[in-house]
A and B are shown apart, each in its own frame.
Chain A
Amino acid sequence: METQAPTIAPLKASLQAILQDLPLLYPELTLGLGVLLVLLGALLIPRSWRNEGLAVLSLLVIAASAYMLLYKGLPAEPVHLLARTLQLDKMAVAFRLLVLLSGLLAVLLSFREGKKLAGEYYALLLGLLMAAMLMSMASNLLLIYLSIETASICAYLLTAFSGGREGAEAGLKYLLFGAVASAIMLYGMSLLYGFTGTLDITAYGFKSGLMSLNIPILPVLLAAFLVLAGFLFKISVVPFHLWTPDAYQGAPLPAAALFSTAPKLAGLALMMRFLSHFLEAGIIFAGLRFDWQFILGLLAIITMLVGNLAAVWQQDARRLLAYSSIAHSGLLLAAVLVFRALGYKALLFYGFVYILMNFAAFLLVSMLKAETGSYKIADYRGLGSRLSYSSVLMVVVMIALTGLPPTAGFTAKLLVFSALWEGYSSGGSSMLLYLLLTGLATTVVALFYYLKIPYYLYLKKQPEAVVQVEGSTVLERILAGALALLLVLFFFRADWVMNWIEAFTISQ
Chain B
Amino acid sequence: MELTEHLLSLLIFVPLLAALVLLLIPARLSGAGRWVALAATALQVLLAVALWSGFRSGAGAPAGVFSPQGYQFVEKLDWFSLPLGEIGYLSADYFLGVDGLSVGLVLLAAIVMFIGVISSWNIHQHQKGYFLLYLLLSSTVVGCFVALDLLLFYLFFEFMLLPMYFLIGMWGGPRRAYASIKFFLYTLAGSLFILIAIVGLYISGIDPVATALHAGVEEAGRVQVMLQEGALNTRDMVHTFNMLHLMDGGNLIPGSLLSLKGGGELWGHSIRLLAFLALMLGFAVKLPAVPVHTWLPDAHVEAPTPVSVVLAAILLKIGGYAILRIPYSLFPEGAIYYAPLVAGVGVLSILYGAFNALAQSDLKKMIAYSSVSHMGYVLLGLAALTVEGVSGALYQMFSHGLVSAALFLLVGVLYDRTHNRIIDNYGGLARRMPVFTVAVTITFFASLGLPGFSGFIAEALVFLGAFRSPSANGLLPYWMVILATLGLVITAAYYLWTLQRMFFGQFFVRELHWEGSLTDLTPREYFLLIPLIAGMLVMGLFPNLLLDSFTPAVDAFVQGVLERGRSNLVLLTRFL
Contacts and interface: CB of A to CB of B under 8 A. Distances in A.
A448 B185 contact: yes
B158 A404 contact: yes
B80 A493 contact: yes
B207 to A, nearest CB: 15
Given A404-B162, A448-B185, 19 more contacts: A405-B154, A405-B155, A410-B158, A417-B199, A418-B90, A418-B202, A421-B199, A421-B203, A421-B257, A425-B203, A425-B257, A440-B193, A441-B192, A447-B188, A451-B181, A454-B166, A458-B166, A459-B169, A495-B80
A422 B87 contact: yes
Nearest to A413: B195
A418 B196 CA distance: 9
Contacts of B165: 451
A268 interface: no
A341 B85 contact: yes
Nearest to B259: A425
Interface string A484-506: 00000000111100110010010
Contacts of B85: 341-342, 345, 502, 505
Interface in B78-111: 79-87, 90
A422 B170 contact: no
A302 interface: no
21 contacts: A342-B84, A395-B162, A404-B188, A405-B159, A414-B195, A417-B199, A418-B199, A418-B203, A421-B196, A421-B203, A425-B200, A425-B203, A440-B196, A444-B185, A451-B184, A459-B176, A459-B177, A495-B80, A498-B82, A498-B84, A499-B83
A211 B548 CA distance: 74
Nearest to A437: B196
B264 A405 contact: no
A454 B86 CA distance: 41
B180 interface: yes
A133 interface: no
A46 to B, nearest CB: 42
Contacts of A340: 86
Interface residues of A, number: 41
A117 B86 CA distance: 49
Interface in A431-449: 433, 436-437, 440-441, 443-444, 447-448
Contacts of A421: 196, 199-200, 203, 257
A440 B192 contact: yes
B301 to A, nearest CB: 17
A268 to B, nearest CB: 19
Interface residues of B, number: 42
A399 interface: yes
Contacts of A341: 84-87
A82 B79 CA distance: 45
A296 B170 CA distance: 43
B189 interface: yes
A492 B82 CA distance: 12
Interface string B154-178: 1100110110011001100000110
Interface string B280-293: 00000000000000
Contacts of B176: 459
Interface in A401-415: 404-406, 410, 414
B266 interface: yes
B185 A406 contact: no
Nearest to B90: A418
B356 interface: no
Name the 9 nearest CB pairs between A and B, nearest first: A495-B80, A498-B82, A425-B257, A341-B85, A405-B155, A440-B192, A459-B169, A444-B189, A502-B83
Nearest to A396: B162
B271 to A, nearest CB: 9
Nearest to B258: A425
Nearest to B196: A440
A417 B196 CA distance: 8
Where chain B touches its partner, the secondary structure class is helix
A208 interface: no
Contacts, number: 99
A385 interface: yes
B228 interface: no
Given A405-B159, A421-B199, A493-B80, A433 B266 contact: yes
Interface of B: 79-87, 90, 126, 154-155, 158-159, 161-162, 165-166, 169-170, 176-177, 180-181, 184-185, 188-189, 192-193, 195-196, 199-200, 202-204, 256-257, 264, 266
A443 B80 contact: no
B115 to A, nearest CB: 26
B195 A455 contact: no
Contacts of A444: 185, 188-189, 192
A448 B184 CA distance: 9
Nearest to A344: B85
A345 B188 contact: no
Contact of B82 (A424, A443, A495, A505): A495
A443 B161 CA distance: 15
B170 A458 contact: yes
Contacts of B166: 454, 458
A447 B185 contact: yes
Contacts of B126: 385
Contacts of A443: 188, 192
B93 to A, nearest CB: 13
B170 A459 contact: yes
Interface string A373-413: 00000000000010000000001000100001110001000
B199 A414 contact: yes
Contacts of A436: 196
Interface string A302-344: 0000000000000000000000000000000000000011100
Contacts of B195: 414, 417, 440
B185 A459 contact: no
B248 to A, nearest CB: 20
A90 B93 CA distance: 31
B572 to A, nearest CB: 17
A440 B198 CA distance: 13
A239 B161 CA distance: 35
A340 B189 CA distance: 29
A458 B169 contact: yes
Contacts of B154: 405
A418 B87 CA distance: 11
Contacts of A440: 192-193, 195-196
A436 B193 CA distance: 11
A498 B83 contact: yes
A363 B181 CA distance: 26
A502 B256 CA distance: 24
Contacts of A399: 162
Contacts of B84: 341-342, 345, 498
A316 B188 CA distance: 25
Nearest to A424: B257
Nearest to A440: B192
Nearest to A442: B192
Nearest to B190: A444
Nearest to B192: A440
Contacts of A424: 257
B181 A448 contact: yes
Given A342-B87, A448-B181, A459-B169, A422 B203 contact: yes
A385 B30 CA distance: 13
Contacts of B180: 459
Nearest to A502: B83
Contacts of B181: 448, 451, 455
A132 to B, nearest CB: 26
Contacts of B202: 418
Contact of A406 (B159, B188, B192, B200): B159
A296 B79 CA distance: 36
Contacts of A447: 184-185, 188
A495 B86 contact: no
A447 B266 CA distance: 28
Contacts of B159: 404-406
Given A405-B159, A451-B181, A502-B83, A425 B199 contact: no
